[in-house]
């Protein structure tokens, strides 16, 4: 079992079926507001990867001040185009505040929390971590077609 960084395969179809509205001008199922994107953390013993289709509590971290489902990502900046590559990512660092997560974790899942079906968008891995009564921060990369967190070329 291992977590693997990937753009979720099902998200490609979900994007074409309008199950994501990542920008303020997006439209999903008749709504004209952007979707809420959440970030959830997963244990090193979990198995989230390209085959992940929806948010799941299986393998998600538990601990003091961590709520199942994770936190809402700030998405003030919608998708953009850089040459022929479209990209999207949270517009600010994602912070899990004053958490104690004693069991090692090494991945996060970005998913759509605006629908009954919590569509998975992407899995991102990092080195194994634990946190004791502190903030855990995921710092976003430079937002562009080369390093943006989610890219379609």
Q: Which residue has the higher pLDDT, 114 or 129?
A: 129
CB of 121 closer than 8 Å to CB of 115: no
Neighbours of 130 (CB within 10 A): 13
Asked if residue 99 has pLDDT above 90, the reply is: yes
Residues 6+ apart with CB under 8 A from 45: 1, 59
In the predicted model, is pLDDT for residue 3 greater than 70? yes
- Stretch 58-83: mean pLDDT: 95
* % of residues, the chain, pLDDT over 70: 93
Residue 25: predicted pLDDT? 65
Give the pTM: 0.93
Residue that has been written with the tokens 């562009």 in this structure = 144
For 13-65, the pLDDT digits (tens) are 988 887 888 876 665 666 667 889 999 999 999 999 999 999 999 999 999 99
**Average of per-residue pLDDT across 84-102:** 95
Is residue 100 within 8 A of residue 120, CB to CB? The reply is: no
- What average pLDDT score do residues 99-113 get? 97
Average pLDDT for 114-132: 95
Q: Encoding tokens for residue 67? A: 């709520």
Assigned token pair, 96: 């899990």
Which pair of tokens denotes residue 75?
Answer: 């998405």
What's the full length of the chain, in residues? 153
* DSSP summary character for residue 122: E
Domain ranges of the chain: 6-147
- Rounded to a whole number of angstroms, the distance between the first and last alpha carbons of the chain is 29
Q: H or E segment at 14?
A: helix 9-16
Say if residue 113's pLDDT is above 70.
Answer: yes
Q: Where are the beta strands (DSSP E) in the chain?
A: 6-7, 37-43, 71-72, 80-82, 85-88, 94-112, 120-138, 150-152
């Amino acid at each position: 079992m291992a977590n693997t960084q990937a753009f979720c395969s099902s998200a490609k179809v979900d994007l074409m079926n309008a199950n994501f509205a990542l920008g303020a001008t997006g439209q999903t199922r008749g709504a004209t507001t952007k979707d809420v994107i959440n970030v959830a953390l997963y244990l090193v013993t979990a198995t989230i990867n390209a085959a992940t289709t929806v948010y799941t509590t299986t393998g998600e971290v538990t601990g003091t001040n961590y709520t199942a489902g994770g936190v809402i990502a700030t998405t003030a900046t919608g998708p953009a185009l850089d040459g022929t590559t479209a990209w999207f990512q949270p517009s600010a660092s994602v912070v899990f505040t004053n958490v104690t997560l004693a069991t090692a974790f090494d991945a996060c899942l970005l998913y759509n929390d605006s629908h009954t079906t919590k569509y998975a968008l992407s899995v991102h891995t990092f080195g194994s971590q634990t946190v004791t009564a502190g903030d855990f921060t995921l710092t976003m990369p430079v937002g562009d077609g080369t390093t943006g967190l989610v890219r379609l070329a």
